[in-house]
């Protein structure tokens, strides 16, 4: 970051002396006012619940311009990456800052592919869960559990250990998600295969059985790979900030990523894809497109507690670029699977059409986000609704681990320790 010539001056109406605060510029986006010495200088904190105007770190990984509806990984627009790369290209780019050359790509793919198996003992750990446990509960446990198996790579001060942990997490996440699924349906676990792509291997671990040969459908493989790409990173969102805060105490990477999985689960974040599909199914069951108007009235009624899931975003005040790509993927997948008349897709399009014209949504700048169409694609390719957020976690793992690694490499890194405005009892005595 660069110190700007501009300074911020903070003055007080009670006659206390004003202070100058340094301003820093990044390469793009808003400047920041450096308030690190504010408490020492004034005895005051800043107050910003929900981080509405607080940059908690510097980062060079992902950039979002919410007004334009722009998303860049390491400077490259998501629209270009989505059509020119596969998910492992994106992982390499996010982790290393540059796209891989041919040899680097071969080496990286080989490394990830050869870390996909999990310790066999993990099976016993998994078997402790009820069959009907939510996959996100299982995944939070399994990812945290990895720290008990891979002691040889948890020295966070060693960049080599951090790299091995990153590869392990990216490689093992599909295996864990597929294991959680197989366990829930009572089918045998399918071991990874090294001759398949990252996404092809995941599909096989999900849908193959020992009784039949499984052939990966390239349309489905490409669609799921696109989902992974679109979810790979999204700067300082709730789960990424959770990973950073958790990791800032010096805990091991598996524990920090498990915290990210837990945060992602919530319906305001990654859990919105599951909530969105459940919402579409509910409207469909009540009469479908004909009931859209009635449903929208409920959404606009503040007392109903109903939100249009898959709509709205803290940062995007324009169409989420991921939602545009997802809508296009959705169309392509449904057409190539012969599901072009899918009623839920029609319903989603109608909800979007109405919302984009309705002053409630227009005035609040509420647009479809990535979760609005992703559930329809996942459902079309056979992924059960309860597993949607686990798929998101699988894809976001690279972003989490890259952000964690960036934090640990930052010379200004400190344990995260927010402050508070205390509004409880002032000092009192039991006497």
Task: Please report whether residue 369 would count as binding ligand CMC according to CB under 6 A.
Answer: yes
Minimum Å gap between C-beta 234 and ligand CMC is 7
Task: Please report whether residue 381 would count as binding ligand CMC according to CB under 6 A.
Answer: no
250 is written with which tokens? 């010096």
Task: Please report whether residue 230 would count as binding ligand CMC according to CB under 6 A.
Answer: no
Minimum Å gap between C-beta 429 and ligand CMC is 41
Please, which residue, 167 or 393, has the CB nearer to ligand CMC?
393
Segment lying near ligand CMC (by CB under 6 A), choices 1-9, 17-25, 108-116, 367-375: 367-375
Considering only residues 113, 237, 241, 374, which one is a binding residue for ligand CMC as defined by CB under 6 A? 237
Please, which residue, 168 or 269, has the CB nearer to ligand CMC?
269
Q: Which of residues 273-302 bind ligand CMC (CB under 6 A)?
A: 299
Site string for ligand CMC, 94-113 (x = CB under 6 A): --------------------
- 65 among known catalytic residues: no
Task: Please report whether residue 396 would count as binding ligand CMC according to CB under 6 A.
Answer: no
Please, which residue, 108 or 361, has the CB nearer to ligand CMC?
361
Considering only residues 141, 253, 260, 270, which one is a binding residue for ligand CMC as defined by CB under 6 A? 270
Considering only residues 313, 377, 391, 403, which one is a binding residue for ligand CMC as defined by CB under 6 A? 313
- 371 among known catalytic residues: yes
Considering only residues 309, 387, 390, 402, which one is a binding residue for ligand CMC as defined by CB under 6 A? 309
Considering only residues 88, 178, 370, 402, which one is a binding residue for ligand CMC as defined by CB under 6 A? 370
Task: Please report whether residue 310 would count as binding ligand CMC according to CB under 6 A.
Answer: yes
Considering only residues 87, 150, 311, 373, which one is a binding residue for ligand CMC as defined by CB under 6 A? 311
Q: Which distant-in-sequence residues (6+ apart) come within 8 Å of 212 by Cβ?
A: none
Considering only residues 61, 279, 366, 391, which one is a binding residue for ligand CMC as defined by CB under 6 A? 366
Task: Please report whether residue 272 would count as binding ligand CMC according to CB under 6 A.
Answer: yes
Considering only residues 371, 379, 388, 406, which one is a binding residue for ligand CMC as defined by CB under 6 A? 371
Please, which residue, 190 or 238, has the CB nearer to ligand CMC?
238
Q: Is 72 left (phi over 0), alpha (psi -120 to 50) or beta?
A: beta
Minimum Å gap between C-beta 327 and ligand CMC is 14
3-state secondary structure the chain: CEEEEEEEEECCCCCCCCEEEEEEECCCCCCEECCCCHHHHHCCCCCCHHHCCCCCCCCCCEEEECCCCEEEECCEEHHHHHHHCCHHHHHHHHHHCCCCCHHHHHHHHHHHHCCCCCCCHHHHHHCCCCCCCCHHHHHHHHHHHHCCCCHHHCCCCCHHHHHHHHHHHHHHHHHHHHHHHHHHHCCCCCCCCCCCCHHHHHHHHHHCCCCCCCCCCHHHHHHHHHHHHHCCCCCCCHHHHHHHHHHCCCCCHHHHHHHHHHHHCCCCCCCHHHHHHHHHHHHHHCCHHHHHHHHHHHHHCCCCCCCCCCECCCCCCCCCHHHHHHHHHHHHHHHHCCCCCCHHHHHHHHHHHHHHHCHHHHHCCCCECCHHHHHHHHHHCCCCHHHHHHHHHHHHHHHHHHHHHHHHHCCCCCCCCCCCCCCCCCCCCCC
Residues making contact with ligand CMC (CB under 6 A): 237, 268-270, 272, 299, 307-314, 364, 366, 369-371
Active site residues: 313, 371
């Amino acid at each position: 970051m660069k110190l700007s010539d501009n300074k911020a001056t903070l003055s007080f109406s009670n006659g206390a002396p004003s202070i100058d605060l340094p301003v820093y510029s990044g390469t793009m986006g808003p400047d920041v006012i450096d308030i690190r010495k504010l408490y020492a200088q004034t005895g005051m904190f800043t107050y910003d619940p929900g981080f509405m105007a607080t940059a908690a770190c510097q980062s060079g990984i992902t950039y979002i311009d919410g007004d334009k509806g722009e998303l860049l990984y390491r400077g490259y627009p998501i629209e270009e990456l989505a059509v020119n790369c596969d998910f492992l290209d994106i992982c390499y780019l996010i982790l290393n800052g540059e796209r891989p050359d041919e040899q680097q790509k071969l080496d990286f793919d080989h490394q990830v592919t050869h870390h996909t198996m999990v310790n066999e003992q993990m099976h016993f750990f998994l078997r402790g869960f009820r069959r009907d446990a939510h996959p996100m509960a299982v995944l939070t446990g399994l990812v945290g559990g990895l720290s008990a198996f891979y002691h040889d790579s948890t020295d966070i001060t060693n960049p080599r250990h951090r790299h091995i942990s990153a590869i392990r997490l990216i490689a093992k996440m599909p295996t864990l998600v597929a294991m959680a699924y197989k366990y829930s349906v009572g089918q045998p676990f399918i071991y990874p295969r090294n001759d398949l792509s990252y996404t092809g291997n995941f599909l096989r671990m999900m849908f193959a059985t020992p009784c039949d040969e499984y052939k990966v459908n390239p349309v489905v493989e490409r669609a799921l790979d696109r989902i992974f790409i679109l979810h790979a990173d999204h700067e300082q969102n709730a789960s990424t900030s959770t990973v950073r805060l958790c990791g800032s105490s010096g805990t091991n990477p598996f524990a920090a990523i498990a915290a990210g999985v837990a945060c992602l689960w919530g319906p305001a974040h990654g859990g919105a894809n599951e909530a969105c599909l459940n919402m579409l199914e509910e409207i469909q069951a009540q009469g479908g497109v004909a009931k859209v108007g009635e449903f929208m009235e409920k959404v606009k009624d503040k007392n109903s507690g109903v939100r249009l899931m898959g709509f709205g975003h803290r940062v995007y005040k324009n169409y989420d670029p991921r939602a545009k790509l997802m809508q296009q993927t959705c169309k392509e997948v449904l057409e190539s699977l012969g599901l072009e008349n899918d009623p839920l897709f029609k319903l989603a399009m109608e909800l979007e059409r109405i919302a984009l014209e309705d002053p409630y949504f227009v005035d609040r700048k509420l647009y479809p986000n990535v979760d609005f169409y992703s559930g329809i694609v996942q459902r079309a390719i056979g992924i059960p609704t309860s597993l949607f957020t686990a798929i998101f976690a699988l894809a976001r793992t690279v972003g989490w681990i890259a952000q964690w690694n960036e934090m640990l490499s930052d010379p200004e890194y400190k344990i995260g320790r927010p402050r508070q405005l205390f509004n409880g009892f002032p000092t009192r005595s039991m006497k």
